[in-house]
A and B are shown apart, each in its own frame.
Chain A
Amino acid sequence: MVRTSDMHPDMAKNLLSLPLPQIEPQAWIAARPLAEHTVAIVTTAGMHPSGDRPFNPGSVEYRLIPGDVDFTDLRMSHLSVNFDRSGFQQDINTVFPLERLRELEADGTIAGISRYHYSFMGAQPDPTRLEQTGEEIGRLLAEDGVTAAFLTPV
């Protein structure tokens, strides 16, 4: 079990001091069967293809991860010491479960996988700075026929 109460006190204090802005929720998107969904992954792990620019701390940019990306080409430039990178180093699915998603597509659990996935930098001192790029991603995903995004932190 890992909760903030189990963490090193300095780390827990740091995490619990981060601002939690209140964002007005949107109209509820009705539930529908998983088998009808085309799914994209959106990660805040600061991942990117090796040839792409590394993230700088606090960056609100995003990087594209193509749906057919070769895992050997993925890097992570989010290097906060507050989180463990050894899981990612051993198996990228620990952070970015694209191979698991491919299995769910293959057995018909989901309808399909997005052509593109999106990566952001985590540890944002002010999450509201992601508003513009976050909305842009929503528009791009919708125009690409994606119906669901699986968001994963690090």
Chain B
Amino acid sequence: MCALSHYIERGSEGRVATTGVSLIREHAEGMLPPRSLFVPFPLGRPLGAPDQPDFQRDVLLSSLRLLETAAETTLADYPHDAPTSGDDPWACAVALAPPEPADATQALRDQLIAEIRQLAPWHAESVKRRGRSTVGVSGATLDQVEGLASLLADFATGAEPPDGEINWNHRMPVRLKFASDDLRAFYHESATAQPGASYPTDADLNDWLFNQTLLGTVLRQIVGRMSQSDDRRVAGLVIGMIPAGFARPRS
């Protein structure tokens, strides 16, 4: 991001001034983009928080104002933390009761699909309220979400996943990464479908998914199997499957 600022200004021959936000202050300090606003927000939330238009506008404006005030390379600090729920803890409206994962492929498929069907009404509500879903980077359509679960169950139990009807964007084993991320998107969108006074942080959602759903347990099983693979392509995917801090269940 910092490098792009320099290259865009150079390519424009001085006609396009750049400003922006930085989530890693050390990176901005090291590469010194012409104008940048350091924001103390979680990675993935450069404007602070979802569904907070006033806060987002203030962050954007604070960065854009550097275009009319900065007379030299400027790294400014945004003075506010991202809004949170405060003392009101978030809890998913859907109370899942994840079973012990089955050893047999078809039984694990059935368990995962049952969990997905518990969330499905809330995902439908999410699509209705937001008008969209971000599920789909694997190639699966929304009505093929259960096929994603089948792929993960197959791999987790050592079965050979068939191609099935999904028009996958990637071959195995990279397909596993995109399928798991699409399923996580389905779970996140379902869990946040119900608007309320309390809303989840990224840590809330990770804690819920990796400690209170069957999917979280299955993703750990998959990572365990990947780690033992003789195929370097499979083992190389391990670091991209589960966020730091969630590789083990909460005790």
Contacts and interface: CB of A to CB of B under 8 A. Distances in A.
Interface residues of A, number: 87
A94 B49 contact: yes
A16 B202 CA distance: 21
B174 to A, nearest CB: 9
Contact of B12 (A95, A101, A142): A142
Interface string A71-98: 1111111011111111111110111010
Interface string B21-51: 1111111001111100000111111111111
A133 B81 CA distance: 34
B47 A100 contact: yes
Contacts of A104: 57, 60-61, 64
A89 B4 contact: no
Contacts of B41: 2
A138 B61 CA distance: 22
Interface in A24-68: 24-29, 31-34, 37, 39, 42, 44, 50, 54
A133 B1 CA distance: 13
B105 to A, nearest CB: 26
Nearest to B192: A90
Contacts of A77: 137, 178
A90 to B, nearest CB: 4
B122 to A, nearest CB: 13
A23 B6 contact: yes
Interface of B: 1-27, 30-34, 40-51, 53, 56-57, 59-61, 63-65, 67-73, 81-82, 130-132, 134, 136-137, 169, 177-178, 181, 184-185, 188-189, 192, 200, 202, 205-206, 239-245
Interface of A: 1-4, 7-8, 10-11, 15-16, 18, 20-29, 31-34, 37, 39, 42, 44, 50, 54, 71-77, 79-91, 93-95, 97, 99-101, 103-104, 109-110, 120, 122, 124, 127-128, 130-131, 133-139, 141-142, 146-154
27 contacts: A1-B81, A2-B82, A20-B27, A27-B14, A28-B72, A77-B137, A79-B137, A81-B242, A83-B43, A85-B44, A87-B202, A88-B134, A90-B130, A94-B44, A94-B45, A100-B47, A104-B60, A127-B3, A130-B7, A134-B7, A134-B8, A135-B11, A137-B7, A141-B8, A146-B16, A153-B1, A153-B21
